[in-house]
Amino acid sequence: MNRTPDSFYDQGATFRDEPALARVEQAVTEGAAIIDIGGVKAGPGEEVTAEEEARRTVGFVAEVRRRFPDVIISVDTWRAEVGEAVCEAGADLLNDAWGGVDPGLAEVAARYGVGLVCTHAGGVQPRTRPHRVTYDDVVDDILKVTLGLAERAVSLGVPRESVLIDPGHDFGKNTRHSLEATRRLDEMVATGWPVLVSLSNKDFVGETLDRPVKERLVGTLATTAVSAWLGAQVYRVHEVAETRQVLEMVASIAGHRPPAVARRGLA
């Protein structure tokens, strides 16, 4: 849920309250278990102060909590002061997409007993793009960073069962790095921490297929299927209904979910 006027995906379609609340209702109806709310777009752009980020998100979190008491509310922020404000308003999860750049955010998660997403961002500053970034082994770096952030969070008091790790596709990475992180996602899954992936319409999909933002759904869903097969558990998406179908199909192929109906060959 992009509470920004300059989102890369919807160009501000959910910046105003009523369209945003309608979008929340649609997402929940289509099967979303978590609503992720962000007040600052990830890419470069106009400066957004902590005060402005809080203005865009805190009241909205409170209203979503009121209207949808059973949904899990996540807030995408790297700032501890914003994290504190949204937790007061009813957030359940802090999605730290910039890799612990503000160490106080994990302390906020511990103090409020909420969940935390620990993301690999390659050490870049928030809202900057990677430039000629290199790794000896990108997955080794992802593991080192995310596991370190996760263990620190638990040591501070964040419930272990509420900590997720995220390879951070596109963040501090070029397209080949993000493809390798996907290909080797099972190495993250093998750590035992639940893995969250944020794949939806990202640049690595666009570059791989040479498609603009609005033509990346097929590539996103293909990457989602691979990630599901390799064991990812949480998916941050724009297209909820399509993603649910992909995840259900993969689960059925893997033998974890029976078909919704079974008529063929039984008449």
Q: What angle do CA 79, 46, 129 make, to 5 degrees?
A: 70
Distances (CA, A) of 116 to 91, 202, 248: 11, 22, 26
Residue environment code for 174-201, b if the CB has 16+ CB neighbours within 10 A, otherwise e: bbebbbbbbebbebbbeeebbbbbbbbb
Distances (CA, A) of 223 to 2, 198, 205, 247: 22, 10, 8, 11
Q: Which amino acid is at 211?
A: R
Pick the catalytic residue: 66, 236, 244, 257? 236
The string of DSSP codes covering 32-69 is -SEEEEESS-SSS-S---HHHHHHHHHHHHHHHHHH-T
Distance between CA atoms of 131 and 239, rounded to whole angstroms?
29
Pick the catalytic residue: 23, 152, 184, 202? 202
Q: Is 202 a catalytic residue?
A: yes
Q: Is 214 a catalytic residue?
A: no
163 burial level (CB within 10 Å; 0-12, 13-18, 19+)? buried
**Residues that are catalytic:** 202, 236
